[in-house]
């Protein structure tokens, strides 16, 4: 086991959050959310990875029972990607509406809500 992919996963999540915090454009914010989520893909795939094994698809080359990488985390990563596509699409649609209603896509210029 090498620690490298786990460091990458954590770094992607942190850089995504940093990007959201420092963002000056809403599309950039949404992309940074996606980058943060990419960290979870790397983490999930790193967890299931095994050296010198193949993809979890059994056939004539790869008879059932031969060593493969963990299919559970692959299914999780796939589900995660679908979730990400949904969230990104919805957030971008909201950004389009914000651009129409507020006339700006700069987070600091949005004055409708005061926290």
Partner 1 sequence: MVTFDQALPALLIALPVAGSCVLLACGRVVPRLLIDVIGTGTALAGTVLAGWLLYETGTGTVTSWSGGWEPRPGLTVGIVLVADRLGAAMALLIALLTTTALLFGWHYFDNLHAHYPALVLLFATGMTGFALTGDLFDMFVFFELMGVAAYALTGLKIEEPESVQAGLNFGVINSLGAYLCLFGIGLLYARTGQLGLAQLGTAVATRAGDALVLAAFVLIATGWLVKAPNPTAVVTPVRTTPVSAAVGASSHHGANRSRLPIFGNYPASLAANGTESARWAGISSSLAARLCCVP
Q: How far is the CB of 54 from partner 1 (least distance, A)?
A: 19
Answer for which of 63, 97, 106, 108 binds partner 1 (CB under 8 A) is 97
User: Measured from the CB atom, is 62 or 70 closer to partner 1?
Assistant: 70
Does 47 contact partner 1 by CB under 8 A? yes
User: Measured from the CB atom, is 24 or 86 closer to partner 1?
Assistant: 86
Alpha-carbon torsion, ordered 13, 18, 20, 23, to 10 deg: -150
Question: What are the residues whose beta carbons fall under 8 Å from the beta carbon of 30, sequence distance 6 or more?
Answer: 88, 91, 92, 95
- β-sheet bridge partners, residue 54: 68
CA distance 68 to 26: 41
CA distance 30 to 23: 9
Taking the alpha carbons at both ends of the chain, their separation in whole angstroms is 45
Does 27 contact partner 1 by CB under 8 A? no
Q: How far is the CB of 57 from partner 1 (least distance, A)?
A: 15
- Going by the DSSP 8-state scheme, the letter that residue 57 receives in this structure is -
Residues that bind partner 1 (CB under 8 A): 9, 13, 16-17, 20, 26, 29-30, 33, 36-37, 39-40, 43-44, 47, 72-73, 76, 79-80, 83, 86-87, 90-91, 94-95, 97-98, 101-102, 110, 112-113, 115
């Amino acid at each position: 086991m090498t620690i490298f992919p786990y460091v990458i996963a954590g770094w992607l999540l942190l850089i995504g959050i940093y990007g959201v915090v420092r963002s000056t454009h809403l599309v950039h914010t949404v992309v940074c959310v996606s980058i943060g989520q990419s960290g979870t893909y790397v983490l999930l795939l790193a967890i299931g990875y095994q050296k010198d094994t193949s993809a979890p698809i059994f056939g004539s080359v790869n008879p059932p029972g031969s060593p493969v990488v963990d299919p559970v985390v692959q299914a999780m990563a796939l589900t995660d990607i679908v979730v990400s596509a949904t969230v990104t699409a919805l957030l971008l649609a909201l950004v389009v509406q914000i651009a129409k209603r507020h006339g700006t896509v700069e987070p600091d210029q949005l004055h409708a809500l005061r926290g």
